């Protein structure tokens, strides 16, 4: 079960709202088994219909466990590009879609399978 800090979820929701209608994207950092921080990459691509995160920007940091990005649409499913990216990097990938509430959060594995998560 993925564990994530509740305040971080609030922050992600806020970041997605303030970036709307553009995409927000960042990396997830885990500490002591709990995803508790996000890391912005200076090379992340922001923009409408952008292809989330460039593979050139992958940080070399073992505490980075995955990614989070927003969808300015009401579709929380990973795109083909998302799945391609997920398969190459990390173990947990969050998509938050419009209107960016708790129920608009989706957690995916490398293979694009839905993951259960627990807010701590």
Q: Give least dist CB 33 to Zn ion, A.
A: 26
Report the site for Zn ion in 73-92 (rule: CB under 5 A).
79, 82
Nearer to Zn ion by Cβ, of 22 and 79: the residue is 79
90 contacts: CB under 8 Å, gap ≥ 6: 28, 64, 65, 66, 67, 110
Strand partners, 34: 31
Q: Give least dist CB 77 to Zn ion, A.
A: 8
Q: Are 49 and 71 in contact (CB under 8 A)?
A: no
Nearer to Zn ion by Cβ, of 1 and 56: the residue is 56
Q: Which residues bind Zn ion (CB under 5 A)?
A: 79, 82
């Amino acid at each position: 079960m993925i564990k994530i800090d509740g305040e971080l979820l609030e922050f992600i929701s806020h970041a997605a709202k303030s970036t709307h209608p553009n995409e927000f994207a960042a990396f997830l950092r885990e500490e002591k088994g709990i995803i508790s921080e996000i890391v912005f990459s200076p090379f992340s691509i922001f923009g409408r219909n952008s292809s989330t995160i460039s593979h050139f920007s992958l940080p070399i940091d073992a505490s980075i466990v995955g990614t989070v990005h927003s969808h300015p649409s009401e579709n929380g499913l990973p795109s083909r590009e998302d799945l391609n990216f997920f398969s190459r990097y990390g173990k947990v990938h969050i998509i938050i879609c419009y209107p960016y509430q708790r129920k608009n959060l989706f957690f995916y594995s490398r293979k694009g399978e839905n993951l259960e998560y627990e807010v701590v």
